[in-house]
Amino acid sequence: MSGSGRSTYRSEKSPLLKPRQDDHHHNHRHSSNSVNPAVEMTTPPPPRRPIYLGVDVGTGSARAGLFDEHGKLLGCSSSPIQIWKEGDCIEQSSTDIWLAVCTAVKAACSLANIGGEEVTSLGFAATCSLVAVDSDGEPVSVSWSGDARRNIIVWMDHRAVKQAERINSSNSPVLQYCGGAVSPEMEPPKLLWVKENLQESWSMAFRWMDLSDWLSYKATGDDTRSLCTTVCKWTYLGHAHMHQTSEKDSRGMEACGWDDDFWEEIGLGDLVDGHHAKIGRSVAFPGHALGSGLTPDSAKELGLLAGTPVGTSLIDAHAGGVGVMESKPPSDSTANDDEEVICRRMVLVCGTSTCHMAVSRSKLFIPGVWGPFWSAMVPEYWLTEGGQSATGALLDYVIENHVASPHLANTAASRRISIFTLLNEILETMRQEQGSPFLAALTNDMHVLPDFHGNRSPVADPKSKGMLCGLTLDTSDKQLAVLYLATVQGIAYGTRHIVEHCNANGHRIDTLLACGGLTKNPLFIQEHADITGYPIILPRENESVLLGAAILGAVASKKYSTVREAMMALNAAGEVVYPSQDPKVKKYHDAKYRIFRELYEQQVAHRSIMAQALA
């Protein structure tokens, strides 16, 4: 998710611990009054207001945001990051990312008129990309090119599809905690690919880390890993800690959740050596205070104070969940009385991809859906994680590869609006011209299966392909608008499929919350509400992932004793979007959803026919 909001909020500078020289003279000039300067000097200064900093490294940019004690955004900035794409191989540079983080943090402080010394704490979130560094912390190449800068395998990289298939054939017990199968987007298949294809890099790598863990390690020098990253992407069994510790006992825990038999069986037994030193010897709950805070070197690079508390990290989507899940509209009078209201909610984190996050008190095994993951988002709750591998990326692809795209892009730029706003206007004009009963009906002849980058859930088929049904020779702006609408609907039908599948397997989801860049598009949100039939709560602050990251630092600073307590204090609801009450709209989407489900079934049948033909 990219983009940044900017604020010109001016802060009151926090009081200095010692009076300035001119203040000292000022006191003495008035000492003839009844004020005793000695007494005045010993009066403690008023407490400094908290300023929580969150950093999020997405696929295209590093972003930083500052929040006050009410969870309000004070200032935000972003800095682009480099990416290399060659077929299924997608790579980045940790050196480039750290530089972008430092740039974004300094810019956010400047925009908010907040000095680095005023920042109370820091938390990181990032994509679940894989970082390789040597014993000196220097990058180790994970690229066919051998370029040392390219030491990160990006989350969406699909080079390890065959390795994932081999791992899944092992039938290891750990697989039941990731929907029955690892995805090529997870770390074990990627690690196996490197070992089998880049022997020199494999021998050089001293630490393999999730990107958000690497960021907190770079900042503090503490190699404690997050339960979020290790449990969700590395097959770590977080529930091994269920009975030995609680979140309030916030400390690094000896990593007892690795299944050594699994690593041996898949051919990565060398990662077990040294008490799992290369993949994580200790883990901690999200928000655990790391080391002694920022190291002097990192503090200088970030423009902050050494020792500033830093919390254990989260994957970016999970930070979005933490930043929004406790958002309660004022009209929801029952929500505050129901301790388990969050167990009936699902958060959609909508960016390049979409993640679907739901929590429960008991563990729920759901085929094709990742989890149950213990304490991977909200500590001491089980997390269910669905997802679509390409949503924002798919909309960009569909629009940018259409012949009408350059003309529309120029028109939008000249009017200083987004291309999505322009397409939404074209659709509304078409609805009026055609006398369509409702806007969604414009796609009655066009259907999209959005699996252009495989299906993450609930069918968990990385080989699934995208499908378009209803194309003609029309290349007009209006045809692109209809194709765009059908793609939005296809994405929303995918969300409906995930929600229905989760509820059929033990969840009781009745409300959606949405955050991320795509939520700024009202058509995207309304179609999701109409198609799922559930209200969608939007956050007061657009930057929910940054707020979730900032919450981690707030907990590390001991302002809050638990992540849930911080969520309740800092989450806030904005607009609530309700599904259409028109029965015709529901009937229409039910029919299109049936076709949506049939498209995948047809693809599987076609795949079988062709496999037989080539046998």
pLDDT one-digit tens code per residue, 77-128: 999 999 999 999 999 999 999 999 999 999 999 999 999 999 999 999 999 9
- What pLDDT is recorded for position 8? 32
Distance CA 240, CA 257 (A): 5
Mean pLDDT calculated for residue range 474-492:
98
Distance CA 563, CA 377 (A): 9
Please say if the pLDDT value at position 335 is more than 60. Answer: no
Pairing verdict, β 370-374 and 447-449: unpaired
C-alpha closest to that of 323 among 118, 94, 63: 63
Please say if the pLDDT value at position 4 is more than 70. Answer: no
Please say if the pLDDT value at position 340 is more than 90. Answer: no
373 bridge partner residues: 383
Residue 246's pLDDT band, with cuts at 50, 70 and 90, is confident
Please say if the pLDDT value at position 136 is more than 60. Answer: yes
Share of the chain above pLDDT 90, in %: 87
- What pLDDT is recorded for position 339? 64
pLDDT single digits (tens) 148-184: 999 999 999 999 999 999 999 998 999 999 888 999 9
Question: How far does Cα 417 stand from its chain's mean position?
Answer: 26
Cα→Cα distances 562→133, 144, 513, 544, 558, Å: 32, 44, 22, 18, 9
C-alpha closest to that of 280 among 319, 242, 241, 227: 227
Share of the chain above pLDDT 70, in %: 91
- What pLDDT is recorded for position 27? 39
Residue 38's pLDDT band, with cuts at 50, 70 and 90, is very low
- What pLDDT is recorded for position 497? 98
Mean pLDDT calculated for residue range 2-14:
34
- What pLDDT is recorded for position 19? 35
Mean pLDDT calculated for residue range 316-343:
82
Distance CA 353, CA 112 (A): 30
pTM: 0.87
Please say if the pLDDT value at position 338 is more than 80. Answer: no
The answer to whether the CB of 546 falls within 8 A of the CB of 61 is no
Please say if the pLDDT value at position 577 is more than 60. Answer: yes
- What pLDDT is recorded for position 330? 80
Q: What is the DSSP string of 269-326?
A: GGGGHHHHTTT-SEEE-TTPBPBTBS-HHHHHHHTS-TT--EEEEEEHHHHHHHHHTT
Please say if the pLDDT value at position 32 is more than 50. Answer: no
Residue 222's pLDDT band, with cuts at 50, 70 and 90, is very high
Mean pLDDT calculated for residue range 513-541:
97
361 bridge partner residues: none
- What pLDDT is recorded for position 614? 98
Please say if the pLDDT value at position 379 is more than 60. Answer: yes
- Which residue shows structure tokens 């017990």? 173
C-alpha closest to that of 588 among 481, 486, 465, 474: 486
Cα→Cα distances 271→168, 192, 202, 264, 267, Å: 19, 11, 11, 9, 10
Pairing verdict, β 52-57 and 121-126: parallel
Mean pLDDT calculated for residue range 247-255:
75
Residue 42's pLDDT band, with cuts at 50, 70 and 90, is low
pLDDT single digits (tens) 440-474: 999 999 999 999 999 999 999 999 999 999 999 99
- What pLDDT is recorded for position 57? 98
